[in-house]
Amino acid sequence: MSATDYDSQKFHEGLVKAGLIVPVGVNGIFGRNAVFEDVLARFNDQVSALAKDDGAEYFVFPPTIDRAVLQKVDYMDNFPNLSGVVYSFFGKELTARQLSERIHSGEPWSEFMGMTDVTLNPAACYPVYPTFTGTVPKAGKLVTMLNWVFRHEPSPEPTRMQAFRVREFVRVGTPDQVVEWRDMWLKRGVALLESLDLPATPDVASDPFFGKGGKMLAASQREQKLKFEVLVPVISKEKPTAVCSFNYHESHFGDVFDIKTEDGATAQTACLGFGLERCVMALFQTHGFDPGNWPTSVRSKLWPNGTTGA
Amino acid sequence: MSATDYDSQKFHEGLVKAGLIVPVGVNGIFGRNAVFEDVLARFNDQVSALAKDDGAEYFVFPPTIDRAVLQKVDYMDNFPNLSGVVYSFFGKELTARQLSERIHSGEPWSEFMGMTDVTLNPAACYPVYPTFTGTVPKAGKLVTMLNWVFRHEPSPEPTRMQAFRVREFVRVGTPDQVVEWRDMWLKRGVALLESLDLPATPDVASDPFFGKGGKMLAASQREQKLKFEVLVPVISKEKPTAVCSFNYHESHFGDVFDIKTEDGATAQTACLGFGLERCVMALFQTHGFDPGNWPTSVRSKLWPNGTTGA
């Protein structure tokens, strides 16, 4: 870490000391207080305002998703280490007593559990694709969601969360419709962050595909410019954090879920998501832990009616 | 089902046809549309309004919780069949390839996964108790939360969800403080639901403890009147649904998490939660699927500024 760089641990301690986050016993899982939540809701309002004339349908999906969907979209092939598959107890009374004894004697009890039909949802867009099966209208489709997602990557680094919320948009249509929409939002995303005095930079990116084969997939994704991110310094000035992510899937989901355009071709899709907690943390890192002391321009944009969360 | 009773399947179909919920491939998991979410937010606003002078601290905790907390509070002993324990993949590249092959050949792949440090959170109040460890002030403590919870009980019955949101309140203090507060909220809960023209009835209740031993625990809980529910007909007139639940834990959590009152005694706790999706469904069942056609008194209470979600 250079002398001019931020200090991840100090930032985490600052969030905790200000009461903005409440640590629990596990890294990457923590409570958010009223001020944190207010800033998150106001940032989300800004995103809604940008999209207000686009006609996107709004949905909320639960934090858990049909396991069959993750299997179909190859999530377990590409990111098995990040998955969160839900197990429960399917046994009878005697086995339940053995389970209790194991737990209270501090011994492993994994063998008592069985796999359920659901997993945690690792990407805000996944639940909606199966609903597109069929032929989309000529203008395509546009959906927005606010979903909790899960990634199994426990870390003391505050922006590396296991559970967080994403404000997501998904576009379905022809290649031209999808790419034009993605390019428009890339500009919108940077402009929104800049309007909040955040030093935002777009960049080509890749997903953290698993293993050696994954390195090749990531290189190909980068080469084809299928993924972009907008980066803002949060825990490091030199390695800014992705707060907004844009994925162009070409016909991947169209193939898997049999989605067609009016001319009978496989529909293409793209999605973008604002990592809401990361956007909030970028604001706290840049402007300080007390929203009451943020620059007037930022406060009046987030709280147009004059109340700050502080 | 009697002739005067509601029809659960018809209600589910009505919610789907009106676009209020979006089925996915698994029972008890579904998307909610903008109208559903608007009603849910407005109902939640009503709860906030009731509590506005109480001084409760607000938090949001993620859908996942430290597994150690569930073990400590005996959740896996009492409700193992409802649990959702999160598993992930801890192997290397060769094993990941075997996992992929298993999945795509449609064979079981449970053995490739290992238990993580988190589970899904089955009750909105659990994450906050560990933060109370120590001595609470003379006036006790009061916290409110809006958390996603999970219960592994897949069912086609629309109010029997695997994933749903609870607006929760938790009170910590002396027995008198805790019981007085619980009694006050029991009245408030009934009055709130009645003010929305919902036929609400309070009743003594018990938790669905597992197994034969569980039946005794449930009987004892009922006998001691430790659990109350407020019931409203949603999928059945004869068996109304619990939309609001009140639990008095006596010193259970105080013992487990070493919470004391100022005089050195073990603190007592109580909690109450509004099952937000169930409250919303009670409104749709009672007043119809289009909020624009709800009684004026209900609409003006939920949307005081005149906009309905319809």
- Is there a domain that residue B38 lies in? yes
Q: What is the CATH number of the domain that holds A69?
A: 3.30.930.10
Domain end call among A103, A120, A137:
A120
Closest CA of chain B from A90, distance in Å: 6
Q: How confident is the model at residue A112 (pLDDT cuts 50, 70, 90)?
A: very high
User: How far is residue A13's CA from residue B152's CA, in Å, rounded to a whole number?
Assistant: 36
Top-confidence residue, A231 or A1: A231
Judge if A68 and A211 occupy the same domain: yes
Residue B84 has pLDDT above 90, yes or no: yes
Top-confidence residue, B257 or A2: B257
Q: Do B31 and A60 touch (CB under 8 A)?
A: yes
Residue B6: the pLDDT is 86
As to burial, measured by CB atoms within 10 angstroms (0-12 exposed, 13-18 middle, 19+ buried), residue B197 is middle
- Is there a domain that residue A74 lies in? yes
Closest CA of chain B from A29, distance in Å: 7
> Locate tokens 């795509």: which residue?
B104
- For chain A, give percent helix, strand, coil, nearest 5: 40, 25, 35
User: How far is residue A245's CA from residue A231's CA, in Å, rounded to a whole number?
Assistant: 9
Q: A113-164 pLDDT, tens per residue?
A: 999 999 999 999 999 999 999 999 999 999 999 999 999 999 999 999 999 9
- Is there a domain that residue A307 lies in? no
Closest CA of chain B from A3, distance in Å: 34
- Is there a domain that residue B1 lies in? no
Judge if B185 and B281 occupy the same domain: yes
> Locate tokens 């007139």: which residue?
B237
Q: Do A85 and B80 touch (CB under 8 A)?
A: no
Closest CA of chain A from B61, distance in Å: 4
Q: Do B93 and A66 touch (CB under 8 A)?
A: no
User: How far is residue A197's CA from residue A298's CA, in Å, rounded to a whole number?
Assistant: 7
Name the DSSP letter for residue B232.
E
Residue B267 has pLDDT above 50, yes or no: yes
Judge if A180 and A266 occupy the same domain: yes
A59 contact residues in B (CB cutoff 8 A): 22, 31-34
**The pTM of the whole model exceeds 0.95:** yes
Q: Do A26 and B66 touch (CB under 8 A)?
A: yes
By C-alpha distance, the chain B residue nearest A113 is B85
Pairs of CB atoms within 8 A across A/B: 225
Tell me if residue A66 falls in helix, strand or coil.
strand
Domain end call among A120, A143, A173:
A120
Judge if B184 and B93 occupy the same domain: no
Domain count, chain A: 2
Judge if B34 and B91 occupy the same domain: no
- Is there a domain that residue A178 lies in? yes
As to burial, measured by CB atoms within 10 angstroms (0-12 exposed, 13-18 middle, 19+ buried), residue A149 is buried
User: How far is residue A187's CA from residue A228's CA, in Å, rounded to a whole number?
Assistant: 11
Judge if B140 and B286 occupy the same domain: yes
Judge if B92 and B194 occupy the same domain: no
Q: How confident is the model at residue A310 (pLDDT cuts 50, 70, 90)?
A: very low
Distances (CA, A) of A148 to A174, A181, A276, A290, B71: 29, 24, 10, 26, 24
What one-letter code names the amino acid at A256? Answer: V
Q: Which of A166, A168, A169 is nearest to A181 (CA)?
A: A169
By C-alpha distance, the chain B residue nearest A90 is B81
- For chain B, give percent helix, strand, coil, nearest 5: 40, 25, 35
Residue B159's contacts (CB-CB under 8 Å, 6 or more residues apart) are: B234, B235, B241, B277, B278, B281
Q: Which of B238, B292, B244 is nearest to B5 (CA)?
A: B238
User: How far is residue A21's CA from residue B73's CA, in Å, rounded to a whole number?
Assistant: 23
E runs forming strands in chain B: 21-23, 30-33, 57-60, 64-66, 85-88, 114-120, 134-135, 141-150, 163-173, 201-204, 227-232, 241-250, 259-260, 268-275
What is the phi/psi pair of residue B46, to 5°? -65, -40
Judge if A67 and A143 occupy the same domain: yes
Judge if B177 and B210 occupy the same domain: yes
Q: Do B88 and A84 touch (CB under 8 A)?
A: yes
Residue B308: the pLDDT is 61
In chain A, the percentage of residues whose pLDDT exceeds 70 is 98
Q: Confirm if A193 and A244 have CB atoms less than 8 A apart.
A: yes
The pair of structure tokens assigned to B29 is: 């998991």
Q: Confirm if A6 and A235 have CB atoms less than 8 A apart.
A: yes
Q: Mean pLDDT of all residues in chain B?
A: 96
Name the DSSP letter for residue A266.
B
Residue B310 has pLDDT above 80, yes or no: no
Q: Mean pLDDT of all residues in chain A?
A: 96
Helix axis angle for A276-287 and A8-17, nearest 10°, is 90
ipTM greater than 0.90: yes
**B275 bridge partner residues:** B166
> Locate tokens 């896996």: which residue?
B76
Q: How confident is the model at residue A6 (pLDDT cuts 50, 70, 90)?
A: confident
How large is the average pLDDT for residues B11-15? Answer: 97
The pair of structure tokens assigned to B113 is: 């996964």
Choose, out of B16, B21, B22, the residue to mutate when testing the contact with A (most A CBs < 10 Å).
B22
- Is there a domain that residue B67 lies in? yes
Q: How confident is the model at residue B309 (pLDDT cuts 50, 70, 90)?
A: very low
Judge if A131 and A190 occupy the same domain: yes
Q: B152-188 pLDDT, tens per residue?
A: 999 999 999 999 999 999 999 999 999 999 999 999 9
Q: How confident is the model at residue B43 (pLDDT cuts 50, 70, 90)?
A: very high
A103 contact residues in B (CB cutoff 8 A): 71, 76-77
Distances (CA, A) of A260 to A56, A135, A267, B13, B252: 19, 5, 5, 26, 57
Residue B280: the pLDDT is 98
Residue B3 has pLDDT above 80, yes or no: no
What is the phi/psi pair of residue B151, to 5°? -135, 125
Q: CA angle at residue A204 from A198 to A207, to 5 degrees?
A: 105
Residue A308 has pLDDT above 80, yes or no: no
B109 contact residues in A (CB cutoff 8 A): 76
Judge if A206 and A116 occupy the same domain: no
Q: The domain containing residue B105 runs over which residues?
A: 87-120
Choose, out of A120, A145, A149, the residue to mutate when testing the contact with B (most B CBs < 10 Å).
A120
How large is the average pLDDT for residues B6-14? Answer: 94
What one-letter code names the amino acid at A162? Answer: Q
Q: Do A96 and B85 touch (CB under 8 A)?
A: no
Q: How confident is the model at residue B5 (pLDDT cuts 50, 70, 90)?
A: confident
- Is there a domain that residue A12 lies in? yes
Report residue A203 CA to chain centroid gap: 17
Q: Which of A186, A177, A171 is nearest to A57 (CA)?
A: A171
Q: Do A77 and B100 touch (CB under 8 A)?
A: yes
Domain end call among B66, B96, B120:
B120
Judge if B76 and B97 occupy the same domain: no
Q: CA angle at residue A111 from A110 to A112, to 5 degrees?
A: 90
Residue A2 has pLDDT above 60, yes or no: no
B29 contact residues in A (CB cutoff 8 A): 62, 64-66, 118
Q: Which of A126, A165, A167 is nearest to A253 (CA)?
A: A126
- Is there a domain that residue B216 lies in? yes
User: How far is residue A237's CA from residue A234's CA, in Å, rounded to a whole number?
Assistant: 7
